[in-house]
Amino acid sequence: MKTLKFLSLPLLLSAFFILASAKPADDKGTEKINDATKVLKDFGKMKESIPHELIEQYEGIVIIPKLINAGFGIGGKRGQGVAMVKLANGQWSDPVFITLTGGSIGFQIGVQSVDMVLVFRNKGVLAKVENGDFTIGGDVSAAAGPVGRSSTASTDYKLQAEVYSYSRSKGLFAGISINGSNLAINKSANTAYYGEVSASADLFARSTDKTAAVTELKAALKAL
């Protein structure tokens, strides 16, 4: 009997460590996902929000909480967030961590923090973002997105832009141009959250994360 107890302890410890290492603990990633969820919920509370038809028709979304828009003569932008695409079954993929950086020339002064949402017509555009060589305004152009509870309520044109941009500051829509900005996969953040992963296209193809943070993010997107 004593031998059985001696042998069972290493087995129990091995099982514990295997379970504990199945997914790396990453509080920063979870916090970023929670921030993205809050952005979607805040947009949904606005009188004129992102049209529901747009979310239904388009296939990709990028959510960047607290994008820093700063400048003194020559402006600059930097923010980290998450990207998601629609899968073949109509469900949204697990979030992929991304970074947006860019600059603009013109008279600007001060620092502004905005919540930004980009809605992509084709998910293939996001799935191809790999090594930071994707430029908004170069590869595809972003237009200011229509607002309203429905697209027909506020616009008299079809939804045709490749990317629609929405930015919100202090509870109000803020006009921020992102053409010329660079969108890149945040490989270190994805590795920290998901563990060792291969190409970002593989991440965009999965929907297996059932954590509370990701579940709430997808629910907020669905309800937008």
Position 75 scores a pLDDT of: 56
Residue reference for tokens 């919100």: 168
- Whether pTM > 0.95 for this model: the answer is no
Position 71 scores a pLDDT of: 55
Ranges of each domain in the chain:
24-223
Q: Tell me, what amino acid is at 69?
A: N
In this structure, what token pair is assigned to residue 163?
A: 């990317």
Task: Give Dmax (Cα) for the chain.
Answer: 80
Position 125 scores a pLDDT of: 83
CA dist., res. 103 & res. 91, Å (int): 34
From residue 138, alpha-carbon distances to 135, 178, 182 in Å are 5, 11, 9
Pairing of strands 163-169, 142-144: parallel
CA dist., res. 102 & res. 52, Å (int): 29
Position 29 scores a pLDDT of: 94
CA dist., res. 108 & res. 71, Å (int): 5
Instruction: Report CA Rg, the chain.
Output: 20
CA dist., res. 224 & res. 222, Å (int): 6
Phi, psi of 94 (to 5 degrees): -65, 150
Position 179 scores a pLDDT of: 76
Phi-psi domain of 5 (left: phi exceeds 0; alpha: psi -120 through 50; beta: other): alpha
Beta strand segments in 121-199, E: 134-135, 142-144, 163-169, 172-173, 182-185
Position 1 scores a pLDDT of: 46
Position 13 scores a pLDDT of: 37
CA dist., res. 57 & res. 99, Å (int): 25
Each of the 224 residues of the chain gets a pLDDT tens digit; together they read 444 444 444 443 344 334 334 454 568 999 999 999 999 999 888 877 788 888 998 999 999 998 876 555 455 678 899 999 999 999 999 999 999 887 654 444 455 688 999 999 998 888 777 655 678 877 677 887 877 655 444 444 567 788 888 888 765 556 677 778 888 899 899 999 988 766 677 888 889 999 999 999 999 999 98
